[in-house]
Amino acid sequence: MEIAQVLDNALRKAAAVWIRPDGHEPRLVWALWRDGTLLVAVGGTEQEVPGLVDGVACTVTVRSPTTHSHLVDARATARRTDLDDDARAALTAARLNGRPEWADVYRLELA
């Protein structure tokens, strides 16, 4: 199975991934896999990810959804994004604890 398929299968089931913006420590974050990229909401009442800014290179670490063991590391580029109505609804619906109020959303484009 090729790496892209492994990532896609794992990220469809993952609720959280590790993100390490270059030059910063890794951070476990809630993320939503949608349209071939990870959406990460930050700021406001959401999680903080030091170093996550537009254009920064990151390492995304995915664990197996069944065994929770390390599955794969993938490189990604963070892009600040404005959500369309469908993406906003999907991100809001996937959030488990109350009404989300984020300051920014980043799309992590996997290399």
pLDDT digits over 43-57, tens only? Answer: 888 889 999 999 999
- For domain 3-110, give the CATH number: 2.30.110.10
Q: Is the dihedral of CA 20, 25, 79, 106 positive or negative?
A: positive
The pLDDT assigned to 94 comes to: 79
Model pLDDT for residues 15-67, shown as the tens digit of each residue: 788 999 999 999 999 888 888 888 999 988 888 999 999 999 999 998 876 77
pTM confidence score: 0.85
Domain boundaries, the chain: 3-110
Distance CA 81, CA 98 (A): 22
